[in-house]
A and B are shown apart, each in its own frame.
Chain A
Amino acid sequence: MSIFEYNGSALVAMVGKNCFAIASDRRLGVQLQTIATDFQRIHKIHDRLFIGLSGLATDAQTLYQRLMFRHKLYQLREERDMKPETFASLVSALLYEKRFGPYFCQPVIAGLSDDDKPFICTTDSIGAKELAKDFVVAGTAGDSLYGACEAMFKPDMEPEELFETLSQALLASVDRDCLSGWGGHIYIVTPTEVKECTLKGRMD
């Protein structure tokens, strides 16, 4: 079994009209055993920037702590929040530092740029950035998520429609993956507010 499949995860971010949504499953497992059903995979860096970390949970936690550390210092020094593009470059650099002993994580970064345009990107475990205009996926349910998102995505969706679409895509995909599921966590971010919702799906 691959180390990336040890804990199980599903992460997806999708772009809408001047908004974005990022969603994850809630299962934390140790191979076939479920340990927690409320595991937080998506973290807020600042009001307009979120990062989700899939893969090995311990690496995800450490990586998140390191990124918060770097961002807080950046905020103190530069007296401003990091732009999503800048943060993505930072994540990429941090991951590549460990090129020959990597973090077993695949991050999904989603944020609003200065001009309120949504920005999403994912990297592989050693920092290769993939910028997408529509959606990015990560985790053990990744393959299913690609299919579901490709089928359900429409450009320029309003926040409510984006929420519906992303929820359906996530729940459909995790149902096909035994290692992820137990509901979902979704954040819909617009220039004015951040909405956080919990989804109830098949609880297995």
Chain B
Amino acid sequence: MGDSQYSFSLTTFSPSGKLVQIEHALTAVGSGQTSLGIKASNGVVIATEKKLPSILVDEASVQKIQSLTPNMGVVYSGMGPDFRVLVRKSRKQAEQYHMLYKEQIPVTQLVRETAAVMQEFTQSGGVRPFGVSLLVAGYDDKGPQLYQVDPSGSYFSWKASAMGKNVSNAKTFLEKRYTDDVELEDAIHTAILTLKEGFEGQISGKNIEIATIGPKRIFKVLTPAEIDDYLAEVE
């Protein structure tokens, strides 16, 4: 990468065997807004807080949940711009797979390739790790799936998981309420209740984002009106 002063890898090992930059990246994730995902028996739901810095911000223009393919979507905790870069790369990889095989990329394959990109940035000169953890939700021939990808590039499959500010409370809440045969509608309610647990202020369709994939395998971000309907059901 040239003779610049910074053409060494920032992620060099510390004497204790840790990669300090990755630890710091995880801290950045941990101070990001809460996001969570739940895998149901017939689909997956992902959700996140959407706290905007001021009431003057046009909340419809902020899209924290993005689709990667017609049957896969992703949400994040951490740095928004890093998320956008990863979404762009993942979408391109998914399309390249489709161009080659004329088949939709399986969820595990796309997760693995995204994780490989994140790992590259922990072992290259002059770059820093991504400051996001991703929750990837997808529905393919292997059924509904939920994966978390960390800045280090490691990925895990979850039945239900949370990330960001309120992670420990949220995970405890999810552990109590999760059952293996939960259906998508119940999972959406559980997701809303989990977000409500740590929410400061009044929760509404305008300050959270929810997306689902159902048995028809179409990734859909819910509109604020639909979220308000679910909120009313939960009350």
Binding site for B on A (CB under 8 A): 77-78, 83, 85-86, 89-90, 93
Contact = CB atoms under 8 A, between A and B. Distances in A.
Contacts of B176: none
Given A77-B112, A89-B102, A89-B103, 8 more contacts: A77-B109, A78-B108, A85-B103, A86-B103, A89-B100, A89-B101, A90-B101, A93-B100
A86 B109 contact: no
A111 B106 CA distance: 22
Contacts of A83: 103
A31 to B, nearest CB: 37
Give the secondary structure class of B's interface. Answer: helix
A90 B100 contact: yes
Nearest to A83: B103
Interface in B60-108: 99-103, 106, 108
B106 A78 contact: yes
Interface residues of B, number: 9
A132 B99 CA distance: 22
Give the secondary structure class of A's interface. Answer: helix
B106 A86 contact: no
B102 A78 contact: no
Interface string B122-134: 0000000000000
Nearest to A74: B101
A77 B102 CA distance: 17
B204 to A, nearest CB: 42
Contacts of B102: 85-86, 89
Nearest to B105: A78
B109 A78 contact: yes
19 contacts: A77-B109, A77-B112, A78-B106, A78-B108, A78-B109, A83-B103, A85-B102, A85-B103, A86-B101, A86-B102, A86-B103, A89-B100, A89-B101, A89-B102, A89-B103, A90-B100, A90-B101, A93-B99, A93-B100
B102 to A, nearest CB: 4
Closest 7 pairs between A and B when the two form their complex, measured CB to CB:
A89-B102, A86-B101, A86-B103, A93-B100, A89-B101, A90-B101, A78-B106
Nearest to B112: A77
B147 to A, nearest CB: 16
Contacts of A93: 99-100
A77 B110 CA distance: 11
B103 to A, nearest CB: 5
Contacts of A90: 100-101
Interface string B109-141: 100100000000000000000000000000000
Contacts of A86: 101-103
A191 to B, nearest CB: 19
A69 B101 CA distance: 15
B107 to A, nearest CB: 11
A96 to B, nearest CB: 11
